[in-house]
Structure formats: C-alpha cells, structure tokens
Amino acid sequence: MALALVAAIPLSVAQTANYPAKPIRMTVSSGAGGGLDFVSRLAATAMTESLGQSVVVDNRAGASGSIAAEITALAPPDGHTVMMLSASLVVYGIVNKTRYDLYRDFDPISQIAASPYFLTVHPSLPVKSVKDLAAWAKANPGKLSYASTGNASLGHLATALFANLMGMPATHVPYKGVGAALSDLLSGQIQMSILSGGSVFGQVRSQKLRAIAVASTARVKVSPDLPTMIESGVPGYAVTQWHGMTAPRGTPRPIIDRLYREAVKATQRADVASRLAQDGTEAVASTPEQFAAFLKSERDQWAKAAKIANIRNE
C-alpha cells in the first residue's frame, strides 16, 4: 500500500503541473436562458481565454440541479469537470433524498455571483404592490398561480414562504427550467413569480413583466424606485440567488486554487462585472473556505424556511 501511494505521488504532481490538459466540462444545474446559465457562460468565456483550454458549458436541467450534481459527483476528480450551482441545489437537498451529498461529495471552489430575487406579476394582473397582490389573491381564491424552476427549488420555497407569511392562497406550478417558466409567465398562463434578477429583469425592463418588489435588504441600483419586500410589509424577508463553482471531492488542492484564481480573474474583468450589473447581479469571488462556510449557512437558513413554509421531504 505504501509503495502504491509513493508511486502515485509523481503522477499527481505531473497532473497538477500540466493542468488543464484538455477542455474543462462545466456542468450547469439549470437549463439555458436563466440567471445561472448566463453567469456560467460569462465565466466560461473568460476562463477559456485565461486558461488556454475551452471551458464547455453543459446544461443539465431538472430536479433543481440534482441531475448536474449526480453527474459531477461521479466525474474523475482531476479538475476537468466542475459544476456551477445555485441556491436551489442547497434547497433541493434539504427537502429531498439525493444520491449525493453536497457537503460530502464536492470541493467548494468559489461563490461567483449573487443576485436579488424580484417579485414579478403579469401586467394583466390588477396589482401594483405587495398589499394589492395579497388582497387580490384573498378576494380571488384559486386564481393566483406562481412559477418556479422545479419542486423544492429556491423559487418554490421563497414563494411558498412569502405566501405563508402573507396568508394568501397561491398555487405552485413547477417547471424544469427558467425558459419554460418564463414562457408561461409572459403569456399570462401563470400570474406571479419570485425569481432572480438575472432571469427576469430583462423582461421587467421591456415591460413584459411588472416588478412590484425586490427581495433584498436594500433597494437595488438597477431599479431604485422599486421597494423591498421588507418595506412592502413582509418583515425580515430577503432572498438572494447566488451562483458558485464546485469540483468533485478529492480534486487536488493546487487545482482548486488554480480554479479559484481563474474565477477571481473572470469576475474582476470590467466587461463581466458590467454585464452582470445590468440585471442587478454582483460579482463575489469568495475563497474556497469562505464558500464552504457560506454553503453551510445557506443549509441552516433554508432548513428553517422549509419548516415555516411546510415543504417536506418527498
């Protein structure tokens, strides 16, 4: 056994010294068109230029990111497969049994970006504030439906919690990704959503959806006249969608550190930061240790929220 370990050391050193030796697969725990996909493609483009190897985005929508997580967890831990995930994957693991463990089977690399959630409604709905929305829902039981990107996604839990706190009836309609959810929101088949700015703010800007509040602790620069949920009468309510990068557990630390440095370079580029800011998204680039601690704090926060919203294990 000792000889085998000693023999393996030069190979490991060689692998890390020559990294990356081939294109990097970036699994994305959402479909095309949403905020996570947008951030992933910005990061992949910037990292491709810096690394000298292609970073190929591989969208794996479904089960709030669980499909992408399973694929990544089983990949060789050599740095040539990474995953871009969002808060929805943390939430999904809280209320569902999974074949992987986000805290056991992955090595955190960095939180890449963060985006506030926006409460939006279809323009045909006769409401312009949170108070109006709650009153309309109570006066029209069974008529208000809301979209999410899947059962036990962050959008599902965030909206269920909001409806619970406001005491208003609302029907959950899950979709496999942001694109399908937006399609029905824009057509008016679904009346409401609480989704990230990266997913919906373009539609708000073009007046295809109406934003009535932002789920951040302070108003956002991209829409300074839009009140927060707290200002609108929902005490303590704040939801941030974040995007981060992980690798299969056991990826050599020099490779984790290299990927972290590349993430910092990508998010510090002026063109990347400027494009993110258009939708109210901010670059983060935390260290692997900071991201690990953040993931644990997210798990604790949303476990409590799941109990309040009465979303249970399936």
What is the average pLDDT across 255-283?
Answer: 91
Architecture field, domain 116-214? 3-Layer(aba) Sandwich (3.40)
Least confident of 72-76, 138-142, 203-207, 302-306: 302-306
Q: What is the pLDDT of residue 134?
A: 97
What is the average pLDDT across 44-65?
Answer: 92
- Do strands 192-196 and 106-121 pair parallel, antiparallel, or not at all (unpaired)? antiparallel
Q: What is the pLDDT of residue 11?
A: 41
Task: For residue 15, name the pLDDT band (cuts at 50, 70, 90).
Answer: low
User: Does CATH place domain 21-114+241-309 in 3.40.190.150?
Assistant: yes
- Does residue 235 surpass a pLDDT of 60? yes
What pLDDT, in 10s, does the model give residues 105-118? 999 999 999 988 99
| Rg of the chain on CA atoms, in Å | 20
Q: How far is the CA of 254 from the CAs of 17, 82, 169, 210, 307, in angstroms?
A: 9, 15, 51, 46, 40
What is the average pLDDT across 98-103?
Answer: 93
- Does residue 203 surpass a pLDDT of 60? yes
Which residues partner with 114 through β-bridges?
Answer: 242, 282
pTM (predicted TM-score):
0.80
Examine domains 21-114+241-309 and 116-214 and report if their fold is the same: yes
- Does residue 4 surpass a pLDDT of 60? no
3 state SS for 47-115:
HHHHHCCCEEEEECCCHHHHHHHHHHHCCCCCCCEEEEEEHHHHHHHHHCCCCCCCCCCEEEEEEEEEE
Phi, psi of 20, rounded to the nearest 5 degrees? -85, 140
Q: How far is the CA of 225 from the CAs of 33, 205, 247, in angstroms?
A: 27, 13, 40
Mean pLDDT of the chain: 90
Q: What is the pLDDT of residue 120?
A: 97
Sign of the dihedral through C-alpha 203, 153, 68, 75: positive
What is the average pLDDT across 139-161?
Answer: 90
What pLDDT, in 10s, does the model give residues 182-191? 999 999 999 9
DSSP element (H, E) containing 24: strand 24-28
So where are the chain's domains?
A: 21-114+241-309, 116-214
